[in-house]
Amino acid sequence: MSIKLIAFDLDGVLVDDPGSWAMVHKGLGTLEIARRHEQEFSKGLINYDQWAQRDALLWKGADIRKVERILSDVPLMKGIHETLPYLQKKYKLAILSGGLKLLADRVMDLFGMDYVVANDLIVEDGLIKGIKQSMAFNDKGRILRDTAVRFNIKASECAAVGDYLNDIPMFETAGLSVAFNPKSDEVSKRANYVIHQKDLKRLLEIF
């Protein structure tokens, strides 16, 4: 199988847990309320878009510079400094994430990755007003296909690396899939490879 592009999830894959949303909640003191939103989503009381909108509204009026400082402290995943430069020589690299674009852009810029789609905060006069959702819960399959078209390749020539249920549509679309420290058995079952170790260098055994 000829792979030409690797699409990565962000939170829990390129950066270590708890990831972008949780780090901002922790830094702004909104974590407990956010956990209630997560429980409502898990119980099916609200959908993913409502969950994201409610979470982002907790940050309304916050200074974007403070959020940027919080996200600058999110730890990168072990092995990223060795793995991404190596893969960059052989493949196009993309980030497709339901996380925050501020953090995804930081990782993309650090490692010279080729493309990113993530959820972007709406900012006016330096203050957060809401969120522009570029990635709904089940969007990753469609967005991976769009990304393949952008780079003039087939979806089957893409690989996907993720850890959560919303990565499954990306797994189903890609020619090769890797569950990296998957958060459920369902994610593991849908992947061609499973890695149970927080070290991105394990990807080099596959690619």
Given the DSSP bridges, would you call strands 115-124 and 127-132 parallel, antiparallel or unpaired?
Answer: antiparallel
Distance of CA 59 to the CA centre of its chain: 20
Kind of pairing between the strands at 92-100 and 193-195 = unpaired
Closest CA to 68 of 90, 100, 40: 100
CATH 1.10.150 fits 20-72, yes or no: yes
34 pLDDT band, cuts 50/70/90, is very high
The one-letter amino acid at 135: M
What would the CATH number be for the domain defined by 5-15+75-205? 3.40.50.1000
Q: What is the DSSP letter of 5?
A: E
Q: Which amino acid is at 186?
A: E
pLDDT tens per residue across span 91-136? 999 999 999 999 999 999 999 999 999 999 999 999 999 999 899 8
Domain ranges of the chain: 5-15+75-205, 20-72
d(CA 145, CA 173): 7
In this predicted structure, the answer to whether residue 48 has a pLDDT above a threshold of 80 is yes
**114 with 91: CB under 8 angstroms?**
no
Q: What is the distance in angstroms between the CA of the first residue and the CA of the last residue of the chain?
A: 11
Question: In this structure, what is the dihedral angle of CA atoms 182, 203, 91, 152, given to the nearest 10 degrees?
Answer: -30
Is this prediction's pTM over 0.85? Answer: yes
pLDDT at 1: 64
How many angstroms separate the CA atoms of 59 and 200, rounded? 32
Q: 65: which residues sit within 8 A by CB, 6+ positions away?
A: 126
Q: What are the pLDDT digits (tens) for 130-162?
A: 999 899 889 999 999 999 999 999 999 999 999
CA 158 – CA 85 distance, rounded (Å): 18
- CA separation for the pair 165, 138 (Å, rounded): 9
